[in-house]
Amino acid sequence: MDRMNRIDDSASMARMTLVLLCSLVLVMALAVVSVCIGAAGIGLSQLWDVLVGRDTASSAYRIVMYVRLPRTLAAVLAGMALAVAGAILQVVLNNPLAGPNIIGVNAGAGLSTMLLTAFFPAYLRYTPVAAFVGSFAAVMLVYGLARRTGASRMTIVLAGVAVSSLLSACTDTIITLVPDVQFGRMDFLIGSFSSATMDQVRFAVGYILVGCVVALFLGYDMNVLALGDDAASSLGLRVKGCRLLLLAVAALLAGSAISICGLIGFVGLVVPHIARMLVGHDNRYLVPVSATLGAASTLACDMLARTLFAPYELPVGIVLSFLGSPFFLYLLVSRKRRSVLA
């Protein structure tokens, strides 16, 4: 039996390694294409000269360093963060329909950043911190409501929808009372990488990398937590502390991503499910694969948003909504069918 378990573990590790390597190659290829394509095409040799410092005076240098490279890095980081946050929320809340945009995390981060913009404009450099505070408060509110009313999967989703609507109404109230914050409002509310800067990327990258590393190290604890509270407690896991820590990590990741690109949705819902199809439910493998697939999917959608109707550009949040909404409906229908058949 032990020998069979070791064989299964080796096979899972080999599969995860292959999937992870393929997804990493895909991310790097998409990143290069993202930097090169646009109204002004950049050749590979020209890109190399810019990156190694041989070309610092041409228009290509300015396009790459001040527009496309920040945008590409922002898409990679936001995709990683939202996908890992979604994977964590689905385990912690025991709900496959959980995601940052579904259960109010995005709305909480949006409200807190809007408050910062409206009333404390001198501290805009702390936008990622404000987004983290808002997203963490939202997810704790949803979790607390679900616990008090019976923490079923549908209760969590309904509580998230209600909290998200309330927080969005508060955001709209601030915009109405403080009209100056409407500048850039559409890009933020829909989600876009068009205004991403290298300063934003530098500020958020530390939070996102720390969050992803912590999630990776907590992969085994997430596996134990998925067994249920009673089973996890019997195995020695401090369930409440672990759940609180994981929720904080998810909020940190989602808030940091939102501070870069605004309220893009469905990455945190869709990508973890695709990762499970590829590597199974072991969160030690699921977290890194979700991170790379999240980066790849966000990059791909951003390139579609830039090129589908060129020279006009769609916000990436619209593309993600077109792709993610049908998947969300599919999840709802498939879960309903399973419950009826059961």
Q: Which residues, in sequence order, are CB contacts of 276 under 8 Å at separation 6+?
A: 286
Share of the chain above pLDDT 70, in %: 88
Alpha carbons 202 and 220: distance in angstroms, whole number: 30
pLDDT at 88: 92
Q: Does the pLDDT of residue 185 top 70, yes or no?
A: no
- The average pLDDT across 258-278 equals 86
> How far apart are the C-alpha atoms of 247 and 149, rounded to whole Å?
19
Q: In the predicted model, is pLDDT for residue 67 greater than 90?
A: no
Lowest-pLDDT range of 9-18, 167-176, 230-239, 301-310? 9-18
Q: What is 70-341's CATH superfamily?
A: ABC transporter involved in vitamin B12 uptake, BtuC (1.10.3470.10)
Instruction: Please give the Cα distance from 274 to 265 (Å, whole number).
Output: 16
| No. of helices (H) and no. of strands (E), the chain | 15, 0
Q: For the chain, give every domain's residue range.
A: 70-341
The pLDDT, as a whole number, for residue 6 is 55
pTM: 0.85
Q: Which residue has the higher pLDDT, 76 or 158?
A: 76
pLDDT value at 252 more than 80: yes
User: Average pLDDT in the 26-48 region?
Assistant: 87
Eight-state DSSP code of residue 218: T
Query: What is the pLDDT, as a whole number, of residue 181?
Result: 67
Residue 207, burial from CB neighbour count under 10 angstroms (0-12, 13-18, 19+): buried
Cβ–Cβ < 8 Å for 89, 100: yes
Mean pLDDT lowest among 116-125, 176-185, 187-196? 176-185
The span from the CA of 317 to the CA of 323, in Å, is 10
pLDDT of the residue at 339? 47
DSSP state of 49: H
Residue 201 identity (one-letter amino acid) = V
Residue 172, pLDDT > 60, answer yes
pLDDT of residue 75: 93
Q: Which two tokens stand for residue 273?
A: 């499910």
**What average pLDDT does this structure show over 287-299?**
94
What confidence tier does 203 reach under pLDDT thresholds 50, 70, 90? confident
**Angle, in degrees to the nearest 10, between helices 153-177 and 127-149:** 140
Please report the pLDDT score of residue 65 as a whole number.
87
